[in-house]
Amino acid sequence: MTHASTTIPDHPVAKSEIHRGQVRMAYRLAAVYGGKLLHVTGLGWHRWDGQRWAYDDTGAASRAVLDILERAWLEARDDRDLATDVRKCESHAGITGVLGIAGALTQFAATVRDLDADPYLINTASGTLDLRTGTLRPHDPADRITKVTRAAVDDGPGHGWSAFLERVLPDPEVREYLQRVAGVGLLGKVNEHILAILTGTGANGKGTFYKALCWALGDYASTVEPDLFMHRPGAHPTGEMDLMGRRVVVVSESEKDRRLAEATMKRLTGGDTIRARRMRQDFVEFEPSHTPLLITNHLPKVSGDDPAIWRRLRVIPFSVEIPPAERDKTLDERLQVEADAILAWAIAGWHDYRQRGDLAEPAAVVVATDDYQKSADAVSRFIDECCVTTSPAQKATVGQLFEAWEKWRAEDGTESISRKAFGLSLDQHGYPVTQVSNGKRWRSGIALSAEEMEAAS
């Protein structure tokens, strides 16, 4: 004796025939709009626009439910149950209920980790580029990519872009280094744990550079609030949501004497999972995909004694000041026209980076970064200005050095540190405590200068 199968086919059309009310309409929605809408837990609905999954901020999902209800009405003339189901959904609560159920269906359900999951794919205006192979293929909703560049993949020349770079960065090694940094920025994961700092006062082109790059990269680039990397008490954590899915993140800061948010900077360049949220929404977790650029006229204040900080910082000097007669107010707009060439330039930088195996900092970047570290190390500057270190036989008491430091620090405007932290810094600089006599601790290899001794007496 055979029994009829009671298994319900796992298809939204079949499911919609056995359920009632909002559940029925949710399955009908899946049958028509599967592959066109996506519900991401913690973020909400997205819609496929032909190139990428765009966040639905225009009510596309709600309109889709209305479309399903209208279709159902056409079928409901001879189906009393279907007509009843449609009526139950024709309200704000009904539409919201349908979407709430639909968001859990396999045709729509996704997590944050499903989005932009392949770091080697970058979605361009002309197709999806695989950075591993250099191949370009049609946009595909199955990739679940949420970003797209403004630029298309085109190897055509960009004479204006090349001329601009040569003018503002005359050192070809620095230009090539910046190109590799931009190339790494196409990759959707943290390969290089660095914060590149583009710096220089005056009209030097760094602002024009980042605006042109961001324009070409479209959704993949973002200019975020300075508080993301610059210290400000009470800054809200929602700013880190701007990093999700980005490839290049720019912080533009023009204020002087701002202090780098060192712990945040280390965390956001370290490759660790980021936990963030939008205003009035739940926290979500995502893998970092961004390469950060800090654009500043004034280098931020940094602690001088944390090696982990200095392993990350790279100073790219923009030292050429464009004279007023050469300044072109239309340059930003003209470079937007060369977006394809700018993307091609960045792709070439990616290939150069892969071939070399690293960013290969040129001498100018190494020197600029070293100078920055020396100027940021307040204890080192104190030693240079107030101490003598020419002989291992020189010595000073711990108390003398700290008292002189406190006087110098107050005049310099440097933040205070504890006696213990000051002592640890002197240890790291090579001036340890080597002698204790008459209740005093002495450091060797260092002594106060004659001027400091006279001022202290």
pLDDT tens, position by position, 195-230:
999 999 889 999 999 999 999 999 999 999 888 888
C-alpha gyration radius of the chain: 30
- pLDDT higher than 50, residue 254: yes
Q: What is the C-alpha to C-alpha distance for residues 219 and 294, in angstroms, rounded to an integer?
A: 19
What mean pLDDT do residues 11-23 have?
69
What pLDDT is stored for residue 457 in this prediction?
66
Task: Annotate the chain with three-state secondary structure.
Answer: CCCCCCCCCCCHHHHHCCCCHHHHHHHHHHHHHECCEEEECCCEEEEECCCCEEECCCCHHHHHHHHHHHHHHHHHHHCHHHHHHHHHHCCHHHHHHHHHHHCCCCCCEECHHHCCCCCCEEEECCEEEECCCCCEECCCHHHCCCCCCCCCCCCCCCHHHHHHHHHHCCCHHHHHHHHHHHHHCCCCCCCCCCEEEEECCCCCCHHHHHHHHHHHHHHHEEEECHHHCECCCCCCHHHHHHHCCCCEEEEEECCCCCEECHHHHHHHHCCCCEEECCCCCCCEEECCCCEEEEEECCCCECCCCCHHHHCCEEEEECCCCCCHHHCCCCHHHHHHHCHHHHHHHHHHHHHHHHHHCCCCCCHHHHHHHHHHHHHHCHHHHHHHHHEECCCCCCEEEHHHHHHHHHHHHHHHCCCCCCHHHHHHHHHHCCCCEEEEECCEEEEECCEECHHHHHHHC
Q: In this predicted model, what pLDDT tens digit does every residue of 362-410 receive, in sequence order?
A: 999 999 999 999 888 889 889 999 999 999 999 999 999 999 999 998 9
Pick the CATH number of 377-456 from 3.40.50.410, 1.10.10.10, 3.10.100.10, 3.40.605.10: 1.10.10.10
Q: What is the CATH number of domain 159-375?
A: 3.40.50
Q: Which two tokens stand for residue 127?
A: 């197709």
Model confidence at 324, in pLDDT bands (50, 70, 90)? very high
The residue-averaged pLDDT of 293-301 equals 93
pLDDT digits (tens, 9 = 90+) for 413-448: 777 889 999 999 999 899 999 888 778 899 999 999
- Taking alpha carbons only, the member of 216, 417, 218, 425 closest to residue 335 is 216
Q: Are 182 and 151 in contact (CB under 8 A)?
A: no
Give the pLDDT score at 201.
86
Which of 58-67, 142-151, 183-192, 219-228 is least confident?
Answer: 219-228
Asked whether the predicted pLDDT for residue 74 surpasses 70, the reply is yes
Which pLDDT score is estimated for 238? 59
Q: In whole angstroms, what is the distance from residue 367 CA to residue 371 CA?
A: 6
Q: Which of 96-105, 132-141, 150-159 has the lowest mean pLDDT?
A: 150-159
Mean pLDDT calculated for residue range 72-79: 86
Q: What is the pLDDT of residue 237?
A: 54
Q: What is the mean predicted confidence (pLDDT) over 324-350?
A: 96
Q: Identify the band that residue 232 occupies on the pLDDT scale cut at 50, 70 and 90.
A: low
Mean pLDDT score, 314-339: 95
Please state, rounded to an integer, the average pLDDT across all residues of the chain.
Answer: 91
pLDDT at 284 (0 to 100): 86
pLDDT at residue 4 tops 60:
no
What is the CB-side half-sphere exposure of residue 289 using CA atoms within 13 A? 30
Q: Which pLDDT band, with edges at 50, 70 and 90, does 256 fall under?
A: confident
Q: At residue 432, what are phi and psi to the nearest 5 degrees? A: -80, 165
Q: Assess whether pLDDT exceeds 70 at residue 304.
A: no
pLDDT at 1: 44
Q: Please, which pLDDT band fits residue 8 given cuts at 50, 70 and 90? A: low
Which is it for the CA torsion 251, 166, 180, 155, positive or negative?
positive
Domain locations along the chain = 12-110, 159-375, 377-456
Percent of the chain at pLDDT above 70?
Answer: 93
